[in-house]
Amino acid sequence: MKIKWLGHATFMVEAKDGTRIITDPFEAGSYDGAVGYAPISDAADIVTVSHDHADHNAVDSVAGEPEVVRGTENRTVKGIAIHGVSTYHDESRGQDRGRNTVFVMTVDGVSVGHLGDLGHELTPDEIRALGKVDVLLTPVGGYYTIGPEEAKKVAEGLGAKIIIPMHFKTDALGFPIQPVDDFLKLMDDVERISGTTVEIDPDDLPEATKVVVLDYQ
């Protein structure tokens, strides 16, 4: 399996058989240009949408004819098992920013969790509902989502072996959120990859939690 970071909360997860999943596609230039990542050029077979904000739900920007997955229904789409758990985009049970869906998908024997714009620490019931998570794609920038400390706690609660940070301040993003370094200071094992993509094999998952930082496309 390959995971490629396109920017913000958008990843392309590619299975060995070529099936491609894109998570939370952003609308390039949205929010008066604050989302400054390059337009999405990759095609996909599946698109997951955690919530309906322009920096997460631009499904029309994804080439191909992908099946769009929203909500918490357990399903298998093009051979990929996906389930969602309803959470909130804030610490006020959705009163400020609404609901958010956390998705867990199983790709080539690896369970990948995408937290979307999770705005609070997970409850024990939510952790049980999500189940096993080998690779966690988590926001770490705070302000609109959980920040560094909360992201670490969520990853520990889920028992993630690999953490890939997302939704943090970069040169291409004008949102008032924190850079990834604020999260990395809290973690012991960090690898920065000079590229957009990492390959993950279920037989090579680390015993202790490892953070992998990708460059955006």
| Predicted pLDDT of residue 152 | 98
Average pLDDT rounded to a whole number, residues 147-174: 98
Q: Kindly tell me if the per-residue pLDDT of 94 is higher than 80.
A: no
In angstroms, the Cα distances linking 198 to 12, 18, 179, 203 are 11, 15, 21, 15
pLDDT per position as a tens digit, 108-158: 999 999 999 999 999 999 999 999 999 999 999 999 999 999 999 999 999
CB 35 within 8 A of CB 67: no
Write down the mean pLDDT value for the chain.
96
* pLDDT score at 105: 98
Q: Can you tell me the distance from the alpha carbon of 113 to that of 123, in angstroms, rounded to the nearest whole number?
A: 16
pLDDT score of 55 more than 90: yes
Question: Quick one: CA dihedral 166, 79, 102, 95, positive or negative?
Answer: positive
- Can you say whether the dihedral through the CA atoms of 150, 180, 81, 100 is positive or negative? positive
Structure tokens at 111: 């369970």
User: How many residues does the structure list for the chain?
Assistant: 217
- What is the per-residue pLDDT for 139? 98
Helix, coil or strand: residue 83: strand
Backbone angles phi, psi at 139, to 5 degrees: -70, 145
Tell me the C-alpha distance between 172 and 17, whole Å.
32
- Residue 92: per-residue pLDDT: 81
Instruction: Tell me what pLDDT residue 42 has.
Output: 96
Q: What is the pTM of this model?
A: 0.97
Residue 137 and residue 112 in contact, taking contact as beta carbons nearer than 8 Å: yes
pLDDT, position 62 = 98
CB contact at 8 A, 192 and 184 = no
At 86 the pLDDT is 98
Give the residue among 153, 109, 151 at the shortest CA–CA distance from 134.
Answer: 109
pLDDT at 217: 84
One-letter amino acid at 191 equals E
| Ordered domains of the chain (ranges, CATH) | 2-213 (3.60.15.10)
Strand partners, 58: none
- pLDDT value at position 192? 97
Distance CA 19, CA 82 (A): 14
Contact 40, 61 (CB under 8 A): yes
Please tell me the predicted confidence (pLDDT) of residue 180: 98
In this predicted model, what pLDDT tens digit does every residue of 96-105 receive, in sequence order?
Answer: 888 999 999 9
Identify the pLDDT of residue 93: 85
